[in-house]
Amino acid sequence: MEWSERGLILGLKKHGESSVILELMTRAHGRHLGVVRGGRSRTMQPVLQPGNEVEAVWRARLEEHLGLYAIEAAALRTDLLLSSAQGLHGVNWMGALLRLLPERDPHPGLYDRAQVLLEHLATPLAPALFVHFELALLTELGFGLDLDQCAATGTRDDLVYVSPKSGRAVCAEAGAPWAEKLLPLPAFLRATAGAAVEREQVRAGLKLTEFFLSRDVFAPRGLRPPDSRAAFIATF
């Protein structure tokens, strides 16, 4: 068995005296592990860091085996990501989110979003991009929110709430009697991703995604939101 693909490094752990087990996120093969022989050498250590992008060749005798990686550097971001608390916590947060995906299950759309996020992880755009990333993750896991039209009236205008029960948007008029029980829907989530967003809008978006991630993803697995999430939020 053999395949070659570009991958984003999520993490690694020691394996034997000189090797590591490398965890990559790839477009066609999903979150995929493999052994890198000599991965703890001085040459390889700067390459095998979370957030870096590598060209990987994976080989194994059988598909279900852990297999071996041959790795070449493609895009090294370590210095940039580690130069700020936002970058450091952000790359750890992204890795924790992607580990919620089943191993070797392709999610090409989420991989593309992860690439964009990494490219902007040390910029002011990162917090808003993380909200969009978590929404996309919820969708990939089968818990996507419907923010396109009002659950009560069908209108696509004046959507300002989200139902915590259904995960669907609610317009201002229909939601007014139950406003205290509904979640705020930040306006930027219905706009094009990538534009600058006010801090309070981003925080509202993160509270929205945290509610559904905690209820539908973390709690059923007996998990809590990663500490890196709170640490990242504290940086802005």
Per-residue exposure over 85-110, b if at least 16 CB sit within 10 Å of its own CB, e if not: ebbbbbbbbbbbbbebbeeeeebeeb
pTM, entire model: 0.94
Per-residue exposure over 125-152, b if at least 16 CB sit within 10 Å of its own CB, e if not: bbbbbbbbbbbbbbebbeeebebebbbb
- Domain with residue 66: its CATH number is 2.40.50.140
β-bridge pairing 183-184 and 159-162: antiparallel
For the chain, the straight-line distance linking the first and the last C-alpha, in angstroms and rounded, comes to: 45
Beta carbons of 69 and 110 less than 8 angstroms apart: no
pLDDT score for 122: 86
Specify the number of domains making up the chain. Answer: 2
Q: Is the pLDDT of residue 137 over 70?
A: yes
Confidence class of residue 81 from pLDDT cuts 50, 70 and 90?
confident
Domain boundary among 47, 76, 105: 76
Sign of CA pseudo-dihedral 52, 58, 63, 66: negative
Provide the residue count of the chain.
236
Structural domain contains residue 176: no
Structural domain contains residue 190: yes
Confidence class of residue 83 from pLDDT cuts 50, 70 and 90?
confident
Q: Is the pLDDT of residue 112 over 60?
A: yes
21-78 pLDDT, tens per residue? 999 999 999 999 999 999 999 999 999 999 999 999 999 999 999 999 999 999 998 8
